[in-house]
Amino acid sequence: MPCKICGTELVFVGQWPGSPKCPKCDSLRILDRSSALQISRERLEYLDQLFVQSMRKFNRDQLIGHIVWAREKYARSFCEEYQFLEMSMFVSYSHLIRRLMAERDFSNLVVANDQSTEQLIDLYSTYLGHRNEDIYLQNGFAELMAKSPFDFSTLTLKQKLSNFVSVCNEKFLPIHETYANNEIYDEAAAKRKFEEYSKEREVMMKSSKRTSSVPYSPQAFIHQNFPILNSLYCGLRKNEIYAEQTFDFASYKKASISPSKLMDLVNAFPIFTDKPTIVEGALLRVEMDKIFDGNLIEIEKALVFNQNNQETFPLLVELNDQVLIPHRTAYLVFAFLHPFLHKDLFNAETERRSKELEANKTKLAFENAGFKYYPNLIDKKKATLEIDGIAIVGRTMYVVEVKAWGMKTFFEHKEGQQRLERDLRGVVDGYKYSTIDGQPRTERIVSLQEKIQFVERNMEIWGLDPRDYDSFKGIIVIKDYPPINEYKGVRIVSAQEITKFSWS
């Protein structure tokens, strides 16, 4: 919502979501878009150069080995000690391993140890944090604000790093609310939720110690752990750093690797308490031949990350014919692979829960807002015309369309928000958009406008009298928070928002 006084778009200052403030009325030092992007670009270039200078002092393979072990210890803190897992740090480890493998010209001047490795990881994490902020700036979800007055022509790099902070604007609010709805939180809120899921985590972690003799089915695993899997699946695809540059599992899908066999492979080797598990590459390949069916060349290409194979996720990292076996890192990948490789089962569980949204959550929300609510009905003469629900307040009747759409890849990019907006408009206009074999497809469907007309002419199906109503409108209820709130007179809300509005 814009400022009520001057109409300027609000920003949120402080710990997100913070307090909404007007840049103009509150005299905030908000930079124009061109200046903000220039400073952001220069900060990224400086931090990248600083990282490269620090990185080149090490022995590359020794450094990669330490980072793989640091990532494994971080994963163990989650799996075995039930400590909070900050996903951005897990991304930093994995992204850094890929980056280092692609680099050259190391000087071997600094010995990689726990302290020196941690310092480099912190530096790279800071760099990635600024890249995420730059994505928000590039896509119009954030602004750059100065802490104190400045002269742009005399700014130093130190001042550009210290005197400017990124603040999210109103356009980011539905994204933030959607993250919370999918249990993707900022650090403080995530820690609170982490404690709430203690029992669920214990059940989930038992699967990490499974062997092939333990009964297991991906369908049951997805059903039991859906909230955690959904938050992982949504959170690890939210922007290009996550979805393309870090967690790209296309090669796993191509090689038809099942998550359970991945765990069988890593569990074929012992896990040590205070040191990493390292095996000969040839021995790993012997075990792969025992466990996996299919094209072993494709399977190895998917699972083993090395100098000659840098396109896959860096899970089993090979250095000088030695492979590091990260047992608990593999388990996090095992969990994430379920919605990715067993997508049909994951979609079925999502659909089942969406029916619960339609039947229960939406109905309860309308009733709590003072509506009379009539549940879904399929027109027997026209099976394609399904009315999800009818909500009545006073002499106004709303025809309800419920959409439990999940988060899409690149949700933090404006193109992702634009696709969601397009799909919502399509519900009203009667178009369904999809992509088949990389080609966009538009399909004609029954529009919400047509459903409104049908209900207006046939409300006796629900036992309603046309003389009792003056107005007939449409409303779309979606699982998450919409980028637009209205289209052609149709309100678009999340189920959580229904009780917030005045409907009389």
Q: What is the DSSP letter of 20?
A: E
Is 363 found in the same domain as 338?
no
Does any domain span residue 266? yes
Short-list 313, 311, 254, 296, CA closest to 91: 313
- Asked if the peptide bond before residue 259 counts as cis, ω within 30 degrees of 0, the response is no
Q: At 14, phi and psi to the nearest 5?
A: 105, -175
Residues 489/180, Cβ–Cβ less than 8 Å: no
Arithmetic mean of pLDDT, 82-88: 63
Is 362 found in the same domain as 295?
no
Please classify residue 457 by burial: count the beta carbons closer than 10 Å to its beta carbon, then call 0-12 exposed, 13-18 middle and 19+ buried. Answer: exposed
Cα separation, 113 vs 130, whole angstroms: 26
Cα separation, 21 vs 1, whole angstroms: 11
Instruction: Give tens-digit pLDDT for 358-409.
Output: 668 889 999 999 999 998 766 555 556 789 999 999 999 999 998 877 677 7
Instruction: Give tens-digit pLDDT for 308-357.
Output: 999 999 999 999 999 999 999 999 999 989 998 998 999 888 878 777 76
Residues 96/121, Cβ–Cβ less than 8 Å: yes
Short-list 139, 167, 182, CA closest to 494: 182
pLDDT of residue 94: 94
Is 362 found in the same domain as 340?
no
Please classify residue 193 by burial: count the beta carbons closer than 10 Å to its beta carbon, then call 0-12 exposed, 13-18 middle and 19+ buried. Answer: middle
Is 302 found in the same domain as 325?
yes
Beta-carbon contacts of residue 69 (< 8 Å; ≥ 6 apart): 276, 324
As a 3-state breakdown, the chain gives helix, strand, coil percent values, each rounded to 5, of 50, 15, 30
- At 178, which amino acid appears? T
- Pairing relation of β-strands 471-478 and 396-403? parallel
Is 370 found in the same domain as 271?
no
Cα separation, 480 vs 483, whole angstroms: 10
CATH number at residue 425: 3.40.1350
Structure tokens belonging to residue 465: 């009298």
pLDDT of residue 294: 82
Q: What is the DSSP letter of 169?
A: B
Arithmetic mean of pLDDT, 84-110: 88
Residues constituting the chain: 504
End residue of a domain, out of 281, 312, 344: 344
pLDDT of residue 212: 44
Confidence of residue 78 (pLDDT cuts 50, 70, 90): confident
Instruction: Give tens-digit pLDDT for 265-291.
Output: 999 999 999 999 999 999 999 999 999
pLDDT of residue 52: 95
Residue 401 β-bridge partners? 476
Does any domain span residue 336? yes
Does any domain span residue 11? no
Does any domain span residue 96? no
Cα separation, 5 vs 24, whole angstroms: 10
Is 373 found in the same domain as 329?
no
pLDDT of residue 203: 60
pLDDT of residue 213: 43
The dihedral region occupied by 394, where left means phi > 0, alpha psi between -120 and 50, and beta the remainder, is: left
Arithmetic mean of pLDDT, 30-47: 95
End residue of a domain, out of 301, 324, 344: 344
Does any domain span residue 339? yes
Output the average pLDDT for the chain.
86
pLDDT of residue 282: 96
Go through 256-270 and write b for each residue having 16 or more CB atoms within 10 A of its CB, e for each that does not: ebbbbbbbbbbbbbe
Beta-carbon contacts of residue 383 (< 8 Å; ≥ 6 apart): none
Is 362 found in the same domain as 326?
no
Number of H helices and number of E strands within the chain?
Answer: 20, 18
Q: At 364, phi and psi to the nearest 5?
A: -65, -40
pTM: 0.79
More confident: 263 or 13: 263
Is 480 found in the same domain as 380?
yes
- Is the pLDDT confidence value at 106 over 90? yes
Cα separation, 202 vs 197, whole angstroms: 9
CA distances from 211 to 71, 272, 333, 479 (A): 23, 17, 17, 37
For the ranges 43-57, 172-186, 224-238, 396-410, the maximum mean pLDDT occurs at 43-57
CA distances from 171 to 51, 160, 176, 498 (A): 32, 25, 10, 20
Residue 247 belongs to what domain range? 200-344
Is 399 found in the same domain as 319?
no
Cα separation, 475 vs 190, whole angstroms: 32
pLDDT of residue 434: 86
Residues 496/488, Cβ–Cβ less than 8 Å: no
Is 378 found in the same domain as 313?
no
Does any domain span residue 308? yes
Arithmetic mean of pLDDT, 106-114: 90
pLDDT of residue 196: 58
How many domains in the chain? 2
Using CA atoms of 252, 253, 254, 256 in order, give the dihedral in degrees to the nearest 10. Answer: 90
Confidence of residue 248 (pLDDT cuts 50, 70, 90): confident
Is 264 found in the same domain as 207?
yes
Arithmetic mean of pLDDT, 20-35: 89
Count other Cβ atoms within 10 Å, centred on residue 320.
10
Cα separation, 404 vs 479, whole angstroms: 5
pLDDT of residue 347: 86
End residue of a domain, out of 344, 374, 399: 344
Percent over 90 (pLDDT), the chain:
57
Instruction: Give tens-digit pLDDT for 178-204.
Output: 877 766 655 555 555 555 555 555 565
Go through 364-395 and write b for each residue having 16 or more CB atoms within 10 A of its CB, e for each that does not: ebbeebebebbebbebeeeeebebbbbbbbee
Q: What is the DSSP letter of 386?
A: E
Arithmetic mean of pLDDT, 441-467: 93
Is 289 found in the same domain as 421?
no
Does any domain span residue 21? no
- Is the pLDDT confidence value at 431 over 50? yes
Short-list 195, 141, 146, CA closest to 172: 141
Q: What is the DSSP letter of 323?
A: E
- Is the pLDDT confidence value at 54 over 60? yes
DSSP code string of 232-297? HHHHTTSSHHHHTTT---HHHHHTT--HHHHHHHHTTS---SSS-EEEEHHHHHHHHHHH--S-HH
- Is the pLDDT confidence value at 82 over 50? no
